[in-house]
Chains A and B, each alone.
Chain A
């Protein structure tokens, strides 16, 4: 139940099995192997093959780190989130951080905290991200070993200010350790978070619960329709083309069309209510929002009343 969502990975690195073994030994259960891309995206991007000889107790995920300097670039995030388990953004300036917090489709925002940042974190900006379901990440790796005194100082300072700005909410802690030596055990990490200003419970949540939420939410975004309706098992054999295609987590473009009518006829009132409620936290498809709710509130109420009336009538007769 301990998560480390940022372990840099390339398939031809000889250190990888050792690192994974050590992670398993330290007690981590889920590890995201990350691939970092700077600048322009290559036309076809697929996650590198996972190592085959990993310890069985580890669950491996794939993650993409996108360095974000210019707000105009990287418009294919939805396509990327289909290929990777987690998509993380690394904004390099305030403008792109703001853009990532408010608009861009991602799971994690991971600012490089080991350099001196020329701006302050603002609660408004970060809370916008957190209320959308995007978590902010602190990577402790650069501050532990190897990167020198400045990196450590900057990391402590930036982590403290980040925790202050977010008021301790929506933070995850991961390693970003290039070598096994800069990994630390989960409880040591929690203690570090305590020293940085999180409370013990929040520190534990940063390594367990919040990280789990990131993975779960990312999965939900990928497979389900707007993060509301997800078909785990279609069940019936009579319609072979419907459930089987949806079950495998069909691409987002086709999923809404396939599952929307079904959801509509079964659970219309709840779905609309749900939709309104979740709009803030999961804005997976803000554009398609308008086309899908032609019903006004008045109309909903009227229908509900009618349904209730009908039901009552049936009961009495």
Chain B
């Protein structure tokens, strides 16, 4: 049996620039971990992300790169999964050219901003970093890794929150602490 071999890249979109972090209604300072992993706008669709990657490959490697991706105009890149809420995506590409796609992702530095333009892509770019977390031969493993990561992030951020609250309440105030603990437990149940 002949099989077309693919690679699945699990990609994470990070926002290091504090100017692009979403503004919170409260005056509470940002939790940097949370802000770095902040959600992506809905302007980024699966097709648009694929187009961005293809353009980046074309910019870096020219016609050779596009040809290497396989497929004619559509290219061999498919976005299998894109979750704007967690800023995670799974990109499928041919195995022979996954390093091309990966380096193209590394050289990309922005996603479209929603508010500044009715049409997609015409607005300002929001600076971001694409980080490839996992390269996998099957989609299932990539998916499992994504789930594992999301779980771990939630736990980590919650821990940080709790620690922050506890640090703030130096002298007593156990009622508030209890309340926070309860809340977190409730959320855990919801998950």
Q: Which residues does A use to contact B, with CB under 8 Å?
A: 18-19, 21-22, 25-26, 144-145, 152, 179-185, 187-188, 191-192, 194-195
Contact = CB atoms under 8 A, between A and B. Distances in A.
Contact of B132 (A144, A188, A195): A188
Interface of B: 14, 16-18, 32-33, 36, 99-100, 102-103, 105-107, 109, 127-132
Contacts of A188: 102, 105-106, 130-132
A18 B47 CA distance: 32
Binding site secondary structure of chain A: helix
B127 A181 contact: yes
Contacts of B32: 18, 21-22, 25
A15 to B, nearest CB: 8
Nearest to A17: B32
B109 A144 contact: yes
Given A22-B36, A188-B131, A183 B16 contact: yes
B162 to A, nearest CB: 16
B17 A144 contact: no
Given A144-B109, A180-B17, A192-B103, A25 B36 contact: yes
B129 A181 contact: yes
Given A182-B109, A184-B129, A195-B100, 6 more contacts: A18-B32, A21-B33, A22-B16, A25-B32, A181-B109, A185-B132
B102 A191 contact: yes
B165 to A, nearest CB: 18
Contacts, number: 60
A184 B108 CA distance: 11
A19 to B, nearest CB: 8
16 contacts: A18-B17, A18-B32, A21-B33, A25-B36, A26-B131, A144-B106, A180-B17, A181-B127, A181-B128, A181-B129, A184-B129, A185-B132, A187-B131, A188-B131, A191-B102, A191-B103
Given A181-B17, A188-B131, A195 B107 contact: no
A185 B36 contact: no
Given A21-B36, A184-B129, A195 B18 contact: no
Given A21-B32, A25-B14, A181-B16, A191 B129 contact: no
Given A181-B129, A185-B132, A188-B132, A25 B33 contact: yes
